[in-house]
Amino acid sequence: MTQFLAKEGVKNLHREGEKLITTHCCYCGMQCGMHIRLNEKTGKVVGVEPRYDWPVTLGKMCPKGVTAYQTVDHEERITTPLIKKNGQFVKASWDEALDLIEKNFKELQSKHGKDALSVYGGVSMTNEKCYLVGKYARVGLGTRFVDYNGRFCMSSAAGGFMKTLGTDRGSTLPWTELEHTDCFFISGWNAAECLPTSIQWLWKARDKGAKMIVADPRETQIARLADVHLDLKSGTDSALANGMLHIIIRDGYVDEEYVNERCNNYDELKELVKTFTPEYTSQLTGVSVEKIEKAATIYGKSPRSVVMFCRGIEQQRKGVDNVCTYTSMALLRGQIGKFASGVSTVTGQGNGQGGREHGQKADALPGYRKIADPEHVKYVAGVWGIQPEEMPKAGVSAFEMFDEIQNGNIRAMHVMCSNPAVSAPNTEYVWDSFRKLDFMVVSDFFMSETAEFADVILPATTWAEDEGTTTNLEGRVIRIRKVKDPIGESKTDWEIMKAIAERMGKGSFFPYENVPQIWEEFRLASKGGKADYYGITYDRIDKEDGVFWPCPSEDHPGTPTMFKEKFDTPNGKANLATVAWQEPAEVPSANYPHTLTTGRVVFHYLSGTQTRRVKFLMEQCPLPYAELHPELASQYNLVNGDKIKLTTPRSSMVLDVRLTKAIRNDHVFVPYHWGKELSVNQLTNPALDPTSRMPEIKVCAVKIEKA
């Protein structure tokens, strides 16, 4: 189970008295390969050793990955269950904690019905656990209210890909092919900070002469080195993409044969983008006509190209539309399903891909099945051993669960692997919702801002204390190995779900003794679905350096390149997007004259629960700040280090000023990894995308004052 797996001929420094355990980083979707160093005598995790032979990352890691091991034996770990008494958390035994949960869950359900309970999951955990969250909610607790933090992460990409391509696999090509492409068209992806080890692939291609076009309101590291930096206004992506499509059609760069054979809606698309002349596009996006022309020409002329995007375009109320239009750029050029070309979203969370496929989502069941489809319900009910009628109906999306709390429909919540008190928009509303709950359970291994609201905290384990699989941003299923036993009395999330299900009288549906048993059931549950994992085994993952889904049988090689012959839509053709222009939900006005956008820094991961507890990372970036252009700053008489007060219709906060010309002169940028009064999500706008229910975290209107 924990063997050391460096391939023959690969040299590593193997210190005496230490064991190297081969695994992957716990943080982002790159899932960089690493070996964890374990002191054999003390049983403690003591460091990290590069995993040179992992084909996707070749030993490279960002500073989060290098220091990830420090969270495992961290002094702030929660090691026993905690129960809140008179506003204070006191240590409790597992029995006490489970007794209290059982009593409250049962009482609330008998008073208010089954759906009084809710589960809020996350995708920074293994496939096995993510799969179990949906089953735990629907079978263990019997509620329809289950959703997960992917609503702030991947749901727009998922919605867009489902609509255009028929299946949502984050990347249509394996990333090891990226170095062979001729052109990157990148939008809303701060690659150097958010998935740093991806840079090696971009640079490799650049070394061979590949072109790079980057659309971003900020001049990020990759934008600075791009052939064209499209410095668009936040929230204008669909206009930019339509403008690109306009020129691609106008100048004859369309792969007509591909489009005729493999795409729907071409005529409608042509009609729609007619109005998106470079001049009109420039007017909407704020990018100069010359840059738009140049970018479209480079992209249009490149024989092989990859369109890539990330949260910048997705965390908008038209996130799905943005994904569809950018994907259409790849389709018009006939790129999807071919070597070293295609389209890719960049999955943020470690298992953002696998975690969104298997039924944590309010309306979904394992294998990308749908609760709305009776056949799908029948199949999954069969695997779970329940009657199809017992399957709860679809619930609501993550942010809408807070509305349900406010309406008094949801009375209790179990939060796992997530910290919505920081990551959700309009956090004050979220905090108020937590306070309104009759009962709240949080599983976590650190005292997150969300955990502070709980009535009961259950000590979960870190990734290094359990085994399983994740699916990286390519769609490659990989193995996470157990490094050591859980510390203190902490338990893995699957053991916690099992224990609560037992208390709810559903123990027989959760008979698992170990992770491989969950994996076997999960393979079966995904079988025949769009995301089919049935043919993937732990052995194959080891032997083949991971297996790409769909992989319907053990003799199937897996699917590194998607859509080679046809798309997964009903008629096998991709649906080109016809998206009319729509403003962001909030545009600058007299009272709020500028645009606020949020994002990440390289030193922190998501809500910062883990990385804010790592010394090196906190030394580099202890606090959020407001980044703005000196031209904007001078209008308010601000210099570096001054305090600035930012106000939006929701709230206000005070931050330090950091000046740089590497940002648009009408935008303010604030990183979001902090909680409470340091959380920029106090200010952000919860306007939801109609399909993906993704909030518009990336753009809102803001007022600036010197503080």
Partner 1 sequence: MNKIMYLEFERCIGCRSCQAACRECGGHDAKERNYVEYVDFFESRQTYPMLCMQCKDPACARVCPANAIQITEDGVVLSAMEEKCIGCRNCTFGCPFGIPKFDFEENKMYKCDMCYDRTQHDIAPMCASVCPSDAIRFIDFDEMQALRRRRTQMNLIEGKKPTEQDKWQYVPEFFGVYSD
Least CB distance to partner 1 at residue 12 (A): 7
Q: Which residues pair with 218 in a beta bridge?
A: 663
Least CB distance to partner 1 at residue 68 (A): 10
CB 288 within 8 Å of CB 251? no
48 belongs to the binding site for partner 1 (CB under 8 A): yes
To which H or E segment does residue 325 belong? helix 319-332
Least CB distance to partner 1 at residue 309 (A): 19
Contact positions vs ligand SF4 (CB under 6 A): 25, 27-28, 30-32, 61-62, 64-65, 195-197
Give 225 or 394: the residue with its C-beta nearer to partner 1.
225
211 binds, among partner 1, ligand SF4, none (CB under 5 to 8 A by kind): partner 1
Only segment of 64-72, 345-353, 473-481, 646-654 that touches partner 1 (CB under 8 A): 64-72
74 belongs to the binding site for partner 1 (CB under 8 A): no
Nearest to 418, CA basis, from 603, 609, 145, 685: 609
67 binds, among partner 1, ligand SF4, none (CB under 5 to 8 A by kind): partner 1
CA Rg value for the chain: 24
CA distance 42 to 308: 45
Among 28, 45, 56, 61, binds partner 1 (CB under 8 A): 61
Least CB distance to ligand SF4 at residue 431 (A): 28
211 belongs to the binding site for partner 1 (CB under 8 A): yes
Q: Which residues contact 561 (CB under 8 A, 6 or more apart)?
A: 172, 173, 174, 337, 338, 339, 342
CB 235 within 8 Å of CB 698? yes
Could you tell me how many residues of this chain bind partner 1 (CB under 8 A)?
47
Structure tokens at 41: 């005598």
Least CB distance to partner 1 at residue 435 (A): 38
Give 241 or 478: the residue with its C-beta nearer to ligand SF4.
478
Residues between 627 and 646 with contacts to partner 1, criterion CB under 8 A: 630
Give 223 or 576: the residue with its C-beta nearer to partner 1.
223
Structure tokens at 325: 């239009």
50 belongs to the binding site for partner 1 (CB under 8 A): yes
Give 146 or 154: the residue with its C-beta nearer to ligand SF4.
154
CB 128 within 8 Å of CB 518? yes
60 belongs to the binding site for partner 1 (CB under 8 A): yes
405 binds, among partner 1, ligand SF4, none (CB under 5 to 8 A by kind): none
Least CB distance to partner 1 at residue 200 (A): 6
Residue nearest to ligand SF4 (CB): 65
CA distance 626 to 632: 12
392 binds, among partner 1, ligand SF4, none (CB under 5 to 8 A by kind): none
Least CB distance to ligand SF4 at residue 61 (A): 4
312 belongs to the binding site for partner 1 (CB under 8 A): no
Q: Which residues contact 211 (CB under 8 A, 6 or more apart)?
A: 182, 183, 184, 227, 298, 299, 302
661 binds, among ligand SF4, partner 1, none (CB under 5 to 8 A by kind): partner 1
Give 219 or 363: the residue with its C-beta nearer to ligand SF4.
219
Residues between 586 and 605 with contacts to partner 1, criterion CB under 8 A: 602-603
**How many CB atoms sit inside 10 A of residue 305's CB?**
26
28 binds, among partner 1, ligand SF4, none (CB under 5 to 8 A by kind): ligand SF4
52 binds, among ligand SF4, partner 1, none (CB under 5 to 8 A by kind): partner 1
CA distance 406 to 393: 21
Among 73, 107, 176, 203, binds partner 1 (CB under 8 A): 203
Only segment of 220-228, 321-329, 346-354, 540-548 that touches partner 1 (CB under 8 A): 220-228
C-alpha 480, offset from chain centre: 18
**How many CB atoms sit inside 10 A of residue 52's CB?**
16
27 binds, among ligand SF4, partner 1, none (CB under 5 to 8 A by kind): ligand SF4
Sheet containing 45-50: order of strands: 18-24, 33-39, 45-50
Full DSSP string of 434-485: HHH-SEEEEEESS--TTGGG-SEEEEB--GGGS-EEEE-TTSEEEEEPP-SP
Structure tokens at 566: 């046809």
Nearest to 33, CA basis, from 461, 615, 472, 617: 472
CA distance 648 to 668: 12
219 belongs to the binding site for partner 1 (CB under 8 A): yes
Least CB distance to partner 1 at residue 472 (A): 16
Among 52, 512, 538, 625, binds partner 1 (CB under 8 A): 52
In angstroms, the Cα distances linking 224 to 81, 123, 138 are: 49, 32, 48
Q: Which residues contact 102 (CB under 8 A, 6 or more apart)?
A: 500, 503, 504
Phi and psi at 232, nearest 5°, equal -75, 160
**How many CB atoms sit inside 10 A of residue 513's CB?**
8
Structure tokens at 298: 């480079």
399 binds, among partner 1, ligand SF4, none (CB under 5 to 8 A by kind): none
Least CB distance to ligand SF4 at residue 350 (A): 7
CA distance 482 to 164: 39
CA distance 440 to 454: 5
41 binds, among ligand SF4, partner 1, none (CB under 5 to 8 A by kind): none
31 binds, among ligand SF4, partner 1, none (CB under 5 to 8 A by kind): ligand SF4
616 belongs to the binding site for partner 1 (CB under 8 A): yes
Least CB distance to ligand SF4 at residue 32 (A): 3
Residues between 226 and 255 with contacts to partner 1, criterion CB under 8 A: 227-228
Least CB distance to ligand SF4 at residue 67 (A): 9
Least CB distance to partner 1 at residue 618 (A): 12
Contact characters 643-682, partner 1, x per CB under 8 A: ---------------xxxxx--------------------
Least CB distance to ligand SF4 at residue 48 (A): 10
Least CB distance to partner 1 at residue 49 (A): 8
227 binds, among partner 1, ligand SF4, none (CB under 5 to 8 A by kind): partner 1
199 burial type by CB count under 10 A (0-12 exposed, 13-18 middle, 19+ buried): middle
CA distance 337 to 351: 24
CB 401 within 8 Å of CB 120? yes
CA distance 166 to 339: 20
Only segment of 195-203, 279-287, 468-476, 695-703 that touches partner 1 (CB under 8 A): 195-203
Least CB distance to partner 1 at residue 663 (A): 10
To which H or E segment does residue 344 belong? strand 342-345
Least CB distance to ligand SF4 at residue 473 (A): 9
In angstroms, the Cα distances linking 268 to 567, 575, 576, 580 are: 19, 11, 9, 11
Among 128, 177, 193, 357, binds partner 1 (CB under 8 A): 193
Contacts with partner 1 by CB under 8 A lie at: 11-13, 15, 47-48, 50, 52, 59-63, 65-67, 192-193, 196-200, 203, 207, 209, 211, 219-222, 224-225, 227-228, 294, 602-603, 616-617, 620, 630, 658-662
